[in-house]
Each structure stands twice: as C-alpha cells, then as structure tokens.
Amino acid sequence: MLIVMKADATNQEIDHVVSIIQEMGYKAHPERGATRTAIAITGNQGAVDVTRFENLSGVAEAIRVTKPYKLITLDLRPEQTIVRVGDAAIGGEELAIIAGPCAIESRTQALTVAKAVYRSGARFFRGGAFKPRSSPYAFQGLGEEGLKIMAEVRDVYGLKIVTEALDEAGADLVERYGDMIQIGARSMQNFSLLRRVGRSHLPVLLKRGLSATLEELLLAAEYILAEGNDQVVLCERGIRTFTQHTRNTLDLAIIPAVRSISHLPIIVDPSHAAGKSSMVTPLARAGVAVGADGLIVEVHDQPEHALSDGAQALTLDQYDELVHEVRAIHEAITPVAVT
C-alpha cells in the first residue's frame, strides 16, 4: 500500500499517518518529494485495509500496490535518486565512470592503473580484493591486503573505492577501507548479504545476476532499501544466453525498462558483458547512448599478465580513448538547459 499525501499536508498529518501504520504493526517509509509526500507500507502479509487511511486528514489517496516491490518505484519517489559517494555522485547530470582492474594484484599495478583513471577525470576506482571465481583454484584476490592498497589509491588520487563483498565478513572489511560496496552477479540473490548491506552506511553497486529477470534485480534492490539504505546503483553486466560470440549478452533494453519503473540509477558494465577487450568500447558507447548513468570498466596496465579477466581488460590507452568517446556521446544526448 502507498499513501499519497496532499501537496499541502502538514508534518503533523504525515506523522499521524506514520503512527497509525506503526500501530497496525507495519513499517512506514515516508518519502518527502519535491511536490508531495508518499508513505510506503511494508511488513504486511495480506492486504492492508484502505479505508483505515482514506479519510485521514492530509491524505490524497491510498493506493493498493500490486507489484511485488514498493520502495524502488517511481510511485513512491518520482524523482531519480542521486547516489552520493562522498563528493562524487551517480545518477546526477555527470556520467559516472568507475574504472580499474578486475583484481588488485599488487600495489604497483593498482597505483599505475589508478593514475590513468585519475587522469581521465573519472571519480571512481574499481578493484577486487575478494574475487568470486568459478574455480576454487583460480586467483581469489589479495583479501584485506588488496583493500589496504585501494585505501592508498584513495589517499593518493582522491578516487572513490568501489569493491566487492562476497559475504557479511567481507562487507565489514569493505566498510573499513572502501567507499561503495559491490554486490557481484553471483551474489545478487544472497539475501542475507543484501540485508547486511541494506544496513550499511555505504552506497551499494548491485550487479544483475547471470540469469536474473528485471523483476528479480529490482527485488534484490528492494531487499537493500527495505533495510533502510536507499543508496543503490543497479548494474547491467550481461546475462547468459545461447550466444557464443560474447561472454554474456548485454541487455541494453533493461536501462529504459528500469527507468519506467524505478528511481534508482543504472550503469553498464561492458567488460563482463563482452569478455573481449575489442568489444568493450563499442558496448560502452551503446550503453551511454541508451541513457545509462555511468559505466564500470576493467582496465589493466598489462592485460596479457592479468591474474583475472585479462581478455576483457582495456589497456590504459584504449581506456583513455573510451572515456573521450563516451563523454562526447553523453554530451550529445544530454538536453541543454533552456535559460
């Protein structure tokens, strides 16, 4: 259920509705928008009695929600969410670029790549310290040591650190060293981890599962918002299909599809979609053209020696070229404010 308050509803009227929801044993999520306040109700198993709210003073309407998600919707928050990562943002006017190696391999590697990322004007540095590898014998990441290296990258270049947590203990560590917690494709339905990052003070980058539907992705985000953290960025990183020419199939249609339902920003990961460096830049261009709020891209100073995902890593020069191209596209499609 969603209670939409009148545009001129007073704080007292809003508080009264919230207290009635709580008295009924449910959770109230008031959303104070630019033009009106809406209050989502969660925690109910069956239908909530509409008549309880319809005649309360300040209430414009009580809407039954038929979709399984409540907090990620434009019905609750019609304005797009801007996710703040310190003094940087994702979902605002600027195209967000998150770049770095798949895995942090050494201090020298991380600092070399970070220098190129910083020089490109990007605000975010990515790098895995805990790697979800298909094989238990593959390089699993440097763990806390990798996080310490990324904390140094932040100190040296001022870049915001985006890094994956594989489990709840990992989330504790990412909170200590990082700026944004990445939930990987393989963890998109790890519900206890989603709940854990929903209680974090850090923003979350939520990647689409390998075979997740749009609804499953949005419900994964709903888990995080339901715990109180609305700083969530969605990420399309390609899904499993029958194609053999790419590692995954980049589903660009999900960007306008998300826009029509949710206020959450969405970015594109052309690297894990392509699996091959030669396809990363064309897919990045397409992602920006279709309206993504940003990109997350894998870059390596020596892709041929990378310990993970080397085939899809851009060289520093290729990365530089990508940034120039996607910025031009973003500028071309951004409406100019009429003064």
**Which residues 187-226 are close enough to bind ligand PEP by CB under 6 A?**
207
Among 68, 86, 121, 132, contact with ligand PEP (rule: CB under 6 A): 132
Q: Is residue 185 involved in binding ligand PEP (CB under 6 A)? A: yes
Residue 295, SS3 per DSSP: strand
Q: Which stretch binds Mn ion (CB under 5 A): 100-108, 158-166, 181-189, 230-238?
A: 100-108
Q: Is residue 250 involved in binding ligand PEP (CB under 6 A)? A: no
What's the token pair of residue 29?
A: 């999520």
* Contact assessment for residue 249 and residue 283, using Cβ atoms and an 8 Å cutoff: no
In angstroms, give the least distance from the CB of 50 to ligand PEP.
41
At residue 28, φ and ψ (nearest 5 deg) are -105, 135
Give Cβ neighbours of residue 94 (< 8 Å, ≥ 6 apart): none
Q: Which stretch binds ligand PEP (CB under 6 A): 165-173, 179-187, 257-265, 281-289?
A: 179-187
Q: Is residue 309 involved in binding Mn ion (CB under 5 A)? A: yes
* Contact assessment for residue 273 and residue 87, using Cβ atoms and an 8 Å cutoff: no
Q: Is residue 272 involved in binding ligand PEP (CB under 6 A)? A: yes
Residue 198, SS3 per DSSP: helix
Number of residues that bind ligand PEP (CB under 6 A): 9
Cβ proximity to ligand PEP: between 88 and 267 the closer is 267
Strand pairing report for 266-268 and 88-90: unpaired
151: Cα separation from own chain's centroid: 21
Number of residues that bind Mn ion (CB under 5 A): 2
Q: Is residue 247 involved in binding ligand PEP (CB under 6 A)? A: no
In angstroms, give the least distance from the CB of 132 to ligand PEP.
6
Report the partner that residue 207 touches, choosing among ligand PEP, Mn ion, none (CB closer than 5 to 8 A by kind).
ligand PEP
Give Cβ neighbours of residue 225 (< 8 Å, ≥ 6 apart): 71, 72, 198, 232
In angstroms, give the least distance from the CB of 112 to Mn ion.
18
In angstroms, give the least distance from the CB of 124 to ligand PEP.
13
* Contact assessment for residue 41 and residue 27, using Cβ atoms and an 8 Å cutoff: yes
DSSP secondary structure string for all residues of 187-222: GTT-HHHHHHHHT-SS-EEEEPPTT--HHHHHHHHH
Cβ proximity to ligand PEP: between 128 and 270 the closer is 128
In angstroms, give the least distance from the CB of 87 to ligand PEP.
24
Task: State the angle between helix axes of 316-333 and 277-289 in degrees (0 to 180), rounded to the nearest 10.
Answer: 20
Report the partner that residue 132 touches, choosing among Mn ion, ligand PEP, none (CB closer than 5 to 8 A by kind).
ligand PEP
Report the C-alpha gap between 262 and 55 in whole angstroms: 29
Q: Is residue 70 involved in binding ligand PEP (CB under 6 A)? A: no
Q: Is residue 237 involved in binding ligand PEP (CB under 6 A)? A: yes
Q: Is residue 117 involved in binding ligand PEP (CB under 6 A)? A: no
What's the token pair of residue 304?
A: 């041929």
What's the token pair of residue 24?
A: 């009924």
User: What is the CB-side half-sphere exposure of residue 57 using CA atoms within 13 A?
Assistant: 6
In angstroms, give the least distance from the CB of 312 to Mn ion.
7
| N- to C-terminal Cα separation, the chain | 40
Residue 181 DSSP class: E
Q: Is residue 102 involved in binding Mn ion (CB under 5 A)? A: yes
Cβ proximity to ligand PEP: between 41 and 102 the closer is 102
Q: Is residue 77 involved in binding ligand PEP (CB under 6 A)? A: no
Q: Is residue 102 involved in binding ligand PEP (CB under 6 A)? A: yes
Binding site for ligand PEP (CB under 6 A): 102, 128, 132, 184-186, 207, 237, 272
Binding site for Mn ion (CB under 5 A): 102, 309
